[in-house]
Structure 1
Amino acid sequence: MNTRHSFAIISILVFITLFLVYLKNAASLPNTQNNGFSRKWLDKAIALDATEEINTSFQRISGISNSKFFLSTLKPDVITTFSLDLKAQDTIFLNLPKINGSYTPNILNVDSTDIRIYLPNLALSLYSSFTENKFDSSKFQSDIYTRFSQLSDSQIIVRALSENQTRQKFKKVNTRTGEVLKESKIIEDDDSFMGFDSDGTLNYDSKNKLLLYVQYYRNEVYCFDSNLNVVYKSKTIDTIKYNHTNYTKLNKAGSEKITTSESRLIVNRNCIVDSENGLFYVLSNLKADNESPPLYNNNNTIDIYKTINGKYVGSFHLPREGKSRILSAVVTPPYLVALSKGNLSKYKIDYTDLK
């Protein structure tokens, strides 16, 4: 091999190495430099009470009753109950009916007596009780929905695609008849394609009768009542006001799918409602200026807000068990229960500084 060829190969390898370093740094850029905001730390407000290693297949906490938690995988046909001291109890196998479509994706809601499975891509709900294990179904008078929150046994709120599938609206639906009772855009200035830019997490505060929609990709929170009347619009404490991306269509196995053509910066990963204490907890994906990189990387950062007005209260950390971020969490005062990959942990909340 002559010198010229050797130099060319070395140049290419150097370029590839530098390019990979650039991609790695660019991907984590928002959390390797200051993001323009600081947090009020309330780490003494939370303390570990119990922790258990569990099967890594569990992906979500699908419900809670007075005496147990219900954990499930991404498939809705098996539910495992855990006691409040985090011990596995029973495994329940559901006799799911055959449907004209897929059970993926699904939303599984479980309480002490009832099981409800919602299939967003089919606008379909399935209902059963633990005693019967036989499902009734209801087809919604609505298009595909992307977000969901249950108000009662017979009513839900969904964020669903419009008839031409270019925008999304919030809809109040009767689950027994499938009838759409009311609809509203809520996010009036959202003109993004299929509402993707304003995607978020939808939660219901049953005590205050309020819904919270926390956006994934920017610092916006919408609070509205069960009749889809906006109560207030607020912001999370970070500074991400605009986070647009482009989309592309992919044809795979004879079907057309729409996906992002570039990576997205997730600002808020999830929201947990504490109805009894009028609070909601946002799992943030951004490092604060007064938060060191090791502290951020080794913990889940949670910001606390008042449900009634969206006012920021403070923040605390929860350890990243096994380096895994929180997959699902619920609050049953005074405890917060968090599911990570292979781990279930219970934390006790001290509300003294959260009022």
Structure 2
Amino acid sequence: MKLTATIREIIKSIISYLFILIFVYAALTKLIEFQNFQAQLGQSPLLSAYTGFISYSVLIVELVIAFLLSIPRTRSIGLLSSFALMIMFTVYIIVILNYSSFVPCSCGGILEKMSWKEHLIFNSAFTLLAAIASLLIATDRTHTLIKLSIIAITASAIIGTLYLYSEDTMHRVNPFIRRFIQGAASKTAEAELNNNSKYFAGTDGSNIYFGDSEAPLYIIAYDTTLKTKRQYKIQLERENFPFTSVQVRIAPPYFYLMDGTVPVIYKGIKSDWKAKLLMYDNNYYFSQAEIIASDKIAFRAQQQKTLYNILGTFTFKHNLQVQYAPQLLQKQIDGFFDTDGMMRFDSRSQKLIYTYYYRNQYIVADNNGNLIHRGNTIDTTTKAKLKVAHIKETGQRKIASLPTTVNQLTAVSNNLLFVNSMLIGRYEPKEMWKQAAIIDVYNIEKNTYLSSIYIYDINKTKLKEMFVVNNNLYAIIGHRVHKYQLSKKHFKN
């Protein structure tokens, strides 16, 4: 049965007004909550890298199409444009549901109440309506069918291309846009540490060990579920050293007690907690140290002539051997404050990782101190923002003004680098920075950014230290330790 011209006109008008209503409502909703709209686009696995451009473009396109649909003479162009836009929205959801590594939150407005599958049905229905209206208004339906086919193929290709390029850009050339994946980290346990002076000393796979900066000889051990607690006391072979900065490290079956200001290093077996002197009475002062092997320790020290920071290794096979790696740390301003950072060793990948405090760079080296590659965190601070003052009377150097800290805490596990960033990214809600610490996760083997997680403050107290064991992140917040299970799907090598 053929439809009369009047019925066709009525159907065409109803469909056009429906699209006008939807596009105007959608555009106004995005405009009213524009910051939230941009934040949601920033979490999209397809559109993250192009958030700025797309956030404005979608608004303009929706309003322009609504305008074209409101004028009878341009209604056919408006309907074809509606078909193209709805095809893009539909293909976008298909890719999200079937090919994306994660599913982000939905968009705002009434559509926010829909699930992604319901959203897909809604978009598909309106895509079909746009095609029907375009055919009803057409004088040559064959020609219009060809147009619709070309539009569908082109629109799908555009979304596919955006997906491929956006993913590569986000992981490798990130424009400082973070991704927060729902369910990537979930808190599973917590335990009391009694004071604020505890720090992570290491793990043997079954237990997490905590040192105490105020009681350096006392060690607390919790099992990995944070239920069973034990306490140990280290016995030193010799105690008459002027200790000022003691640190304990666990590297099963051994433990090490070190103070680079003496300098002195003890080594003992965890079964009896008796520490014997490994190194003392020399001038090899150091400010940081990490256990690489039972007879090898990586350290950071100062060069005698320049006072620049330098990395190196102590080896204790037959006698002490010291090897420096002057090529690793790179001076930008003074060679001391500007190269300050955190050193970590990943026992599983046998890599040494050094992350700068004041610039967006980390260094990956092998266990001999040879450079593997340099990587960048996703923020844009390529040069340290600090001013150094030289005191003539004492010859000392001091930071003249408060520097901009880029990376505050780090942890490593199985080629993954966890960085507590101190800089807010693009399209991020500022309110979250008052409630949580931001942890960015990087794959140091592929030199890529993966995603970010929130570690929420407890009683307005922020994250102090973190430690990662397998797929669990342990965080010291105040006088308690909290355990978070990391999603294996999202945080894998």
Shorter-chain TM-score bucket reads 0.7 to 0.9
Q: Could you say which residue in structure 1 is the equivalent of 2:249?
A: 109
Q: Which amino acid aligns with 1:237?
A: I
Q: Could you say which residue in structure 2 is the equivalent of 1:336?
A: 473
Q: State yes or no: 1:354 paired with 2:354.
A: no
Give TM-score scaled by structure 1 length.
Answer: 0.80
Say which of 206, 219, 225 aligns to 1:85: 225
CA distance, structure 2, for counterparts of residue 194 and residue 142 of structure 1: 21
Q: Which has the higher contact order (CA 8 A, sep 6+)?
A: 1
- The RMSD of aligned alpha carbons is 2.5
Q: Aligned in 2, Cα 1:293/1:113: closer, same or farther, shift over 3 Å?
A: same
Q: Larger strand proportion, structure 1 or 2?
A: 1
Q: Could you say which residue in structure 2 is the equivalent of 1:212?
A: 353
Q: Aligned in 2, Cα 1:250/1:82: closer, same or farther, shift over 3 Å?
A: farther
Deviation at 1:56, TM superposition (A): 2.3
Q: What does residue range 14-29 of structure 1 map to in structure 2 within 5 Å?
A: none
Contact kept? 1:201, 1:216, Cα under 8 Å? yes
Bigger Cα Rg: 2
CA distance, structure 1, for counterparts of residue 228 and residue 306 of structure 2: 43
Deviation at 1:131, TM superposition (A): 4.0
Q: State yes or no: 1:46 paired with 2:185.
A: yes
Q: Aligned in 2, Cα 1:157/1:188: closer, same or farther, shift over 3 Å?
A: closer
CA distance, structure 1, for counterparts of residue 319 and residue 432 of structure 2: 47
Q: State yes or no: 1:146 paired with 2:146.
A: no
Q: State yes or no: 1:300 paired with 2:300.
A: no
Say which of 302, 309, 331 aligns to 1:168: 309
Q: Could you say which residue in structure 1 is the equivalent of 2:424?
A: 287
Secondary structure, aligned partner of 2:205? coil
Contact kept? 1:157, 1:171, Cα under 8 Å? yes
Q: Which amino acid aligns with 1:221?
A: Y
Q: Larger helix proportion, structure 1 or 2?
A: 2
Secondary structure, aligned partner of 1:331? strand
Contact kept? 1:81, 1:91, Cα under 8 Å? yes
Q: State yes or no: 1:155 paired with 2:314.
A: no
Q: Could you say which residue in structure 2 is the equivalent of 1:323?
A: 460
CA distance, structure 1, for counterparts of residue 392 and residue 194 of structure 2: 35
Secondary structure, aligned partner of 2:310? strand
Q: Could you say which residue in structure 1 is the equivalent of 2:386?
A: 244
Q: Aligned in 2, Cα 1:341/1:178: closer, same or farther, shift over 3 Å?
A: farther
Contact kept? 1:215, 1:221, Cα under 8 Å? yes
Contact kept? 2:351, 2:367, Cα under 8 Å? yes
Q: Could you say which residue in structure 1 is the equivalent of 2:321?
A: 180
CA distance, structure 1, for counterparts of residue 432 and residue 227 of structure 2: 30
Question: What percent identity do the matched residue pairs reach?
Answer: 18
Q: Which amino acid aligns with 1:78?
A: Y
Say which of 426, 440, 448 aligns to 1:311: 448
Contact kept? 1:105, 1:121, Cα under 8 Å? yes
Contact kept? 2:232, 2:273, Cα under 8 Å? no
Deviation at 1:160, TM superposition (A): 1.2
Deviation at 1:354, TM superposition (A): 3.2
Deviation at 1:111, TM superposition (A): 4.9
Contact kept? 1:61, 1:328, Cα under 8 Å? yes
Contact kept? 1:139, 1:178, Cα under 8 Å? no
Q: Which amino acid aligns with 1:234?
A: G
Say which of 318, 328, 340 aligns to 1:199: 340
Secondary structure, aligned partner of 2:433? helix
Deviation at 1:257, TM superposition (A): 6.6
Q: Aligned in 2, Cα 1:306/1:113: closer, same or farther, shift over 3 Å?
A: same
Q: Could you say which residue in structure 1 is the equivalent of 2:206?
A: 67
Q: Could you say which residue in structure 2 is the equivalent of 1:226?
A: 367
Unpaired stretches in structure 2, ≥5 consecutive residues: 1-174
Deviation at 1:310, TM superposition (A): 2.3
Contact kept? 2:435, 2:456, Cα under 8 Å? yes
How many equivalent pairs are there? 314
